[in-house]
């Protein structure tokens, strides 16, 4: 079964900024939602962060903005790269080291 990461509950409109993101099955059942600072973090947190939930609900693929970001226990290479980049930027912007 597929699941989708939406901004809000049912919108997949390309928004990538801060806000509430939801993990919704293809049957329109909301499995999980949480506030994330951007879509790259949401893609990470709503897949790898809840992997047991994905397995328990027979989710085999997760899509975000129409792109597969997780399949069978692994984030896609692009989703991983986006997460690493977002995490680097977050650390850079919030670091006390100058």
pLDDT digits (tens, 9 = 90+) for 17-74: 888 999 999 999 999 999 999 999 999 999 999 999 999 999 999 999 999 999 988 9
What are the backbone dihedrals phi and psi of residue 25, each rounded to the nearest 5 degrees, phi first?
-75, 170
Domain boundaries, the chain: 2-92
Cα–Cα distance measured from residue 42 to residue 38, given in angstroms and rounded to the nearest whole number? 6
The answer on pLDDT for 97 being more than 70 is no
pLDDT of residue 76: 95
């Amino acid at each position: 079964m597929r699941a989708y990461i939406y901004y809000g509950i049912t919108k997949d409109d390309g928004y990538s900024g801060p806000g509430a993101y939801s993990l919704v099955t293809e049957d329109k059942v909301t499995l999980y939602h949480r506030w994330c600072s951007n879509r790259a973090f949401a893609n990470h947190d709503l897949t790898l962060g809840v992997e047991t939930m994905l397995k328990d609900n027979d989710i085999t693929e997760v899509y975000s903005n129409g792109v597969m970001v997780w399949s069978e226990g692994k984030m896609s290479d692009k989703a991983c790269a986006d997460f690493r980049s977002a995490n680097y930027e977050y650390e850079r912007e919030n670091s006390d080291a100058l």
